[in-house]
Amino acid sequence: MLLNLIHSSGNDLAFNIALLVLYVICILLALICHEVAHGLAANWLGDPTAKQEGRLTLNPLAHIDPIGFLMMLFTGYGWAKPVPVNPRRLRKPRRDMAIVSFAGPLANLLLALFAGLGCSAFAAFGKFPMDMLAIEQVTPASAVSYLLLVFMRLNIGLALFNLIPIPPMDGSNILVSFLRPNAAAKYLQLRLYTQYIFLGIIALNVLSSFSTVAAILNSLLWTPFYYLTSWIGKGILFLGCWLFGTPAPGIVSSILAGTLFG
């Protein structure tokens, strides 16, 4: 996703640097809110471990996982450092672990909803340029609109990616809640190999800019996520168009023409 954004914005160095800074800020906010949501849910359900270890904080250093951050930076999908949760301190461990695990993706989907509606509100008042990345059209209003769009896209991607049922993703913890103990223990052994899988995904994404084979493999890997992310994003934007009376075809075609959802 980062490479698409920079490619679409042209060769203006200052503009690309500003775009990168905004992009990193969006990533950090999405990751922080995701992990804090896990910790708050666990605390509400009886486990204050995250609170006791200082993870209910907005300090990004407490939440960033290097590999997950790189995934977010280059692909728009990734993860943060998991907050500590002690299932034994939860009131109903199997049920509550599923709730705690789903709290992070749910927080991201809600943030995506608010960001998309905010962008639609800007469009309703004529503050949304047809070319979001045209330097000559950049205004404070259009910059905020674009920031909201990027934030929406990243939050949708973060929610979907973390629902994959592969350890240590949130989806795996939700699935474990429905497995028998022996089956769950064997399933969680996949955690030993996932970091290498994700490093390979990062490498494949970078190589796709230089190799046709890598580009094809990368496209096959990410196409389902891109389509699902696009559908959810379109749904949010069409909802905003309906709420604020914005002409839906114009805003959606200008937003989704490959930059954020391609």
* Residue 35 among the catalytic residues: yes
Find all residues with CB under 8 Å of 107, minimum gap 6, and list them.
33, 34, 36, 37
What pLDDT, on the 0 to 100 scale, is given for residue 133? 47
**Mean pLDDT of all residues in 227-238:** 87
Q: Give the integer Cα–Cα distance in Å for 26 and 260.
A: 13
Polymer length in residues for the chain: 262
The two structure tokens encoding residue 66 = 């290097």
- The helix/strand/coil state of 209 is coil
pLDDT in tens, 166-182: 888 899 999 988 888 88
Instruction: Using the predicted structure, report yes or no on whether residue 3 has a pLDDT greater than 70.
Output: no
**Mean pLDDT of all residues in 244-250:** 62
Rg (Cα) of the chain, in Å, rounded? 19
Q: Which amino acid type is present at position 127?
A: K
Q: What is the DSSP string of 13-64?
A: HHHHHHHHHHHHHHHHHHHHHHHHHHHHHHHHTT--HHHHTT-SS--GGGT-
What pLDDT, on the 0 to 100 scale, is given for residue 131? 45
Mean of the per-residue pLDDT values for the chain? 81
Note whether 195 and 67 are within 8 A (CB).
yes
**Mean pLDDT of all residues in 194-214:** 83
What pLDDT, on the 0 to 100 scale, is given for residue 261? 47
Instruction: Using the predicted structure, report yes or no on whether residue 255 has a pLDDT greater than 60.
Output: no
pTM of the model: 0.83
Tell me which of 57-66, 128-137, 197-206 is least confident. Answer: 128-137
The residue annotated as part of the active site, out of 23, 26, 30, 35, is: 35
Closest among 122, 133, 142, 45 to 90, alpha carbons compared: 45
Instruction: Using the predicted structure, report yes or no on whether residue 1 has a pLDDT greater than 70.
Output: no
Q: Give the integer Cα–Cα distance in Å for 166 and 169.
A: 6
What pLDDT, on the 0 to 100 scale, is given for residue 84? 93
What pLDDT, on the 0 to 100 scale, is given for residue 5? 56
What pLDDT, on the 0 to 100 scale, is given for residue 249? 46
Q: Give the integer Cα–Cα distance in Å for 92 and 131.
A: 51
Angle between the N-to-C axes of helices 212-244 and 93-124, in degrees from 0 to 180, rounded to the nearest 10:
70
- The helix/strand/coil state of 92 is coil
pLDDT in tens, 24-56: 889 999 999 999 999 999 999 999 999 999 999
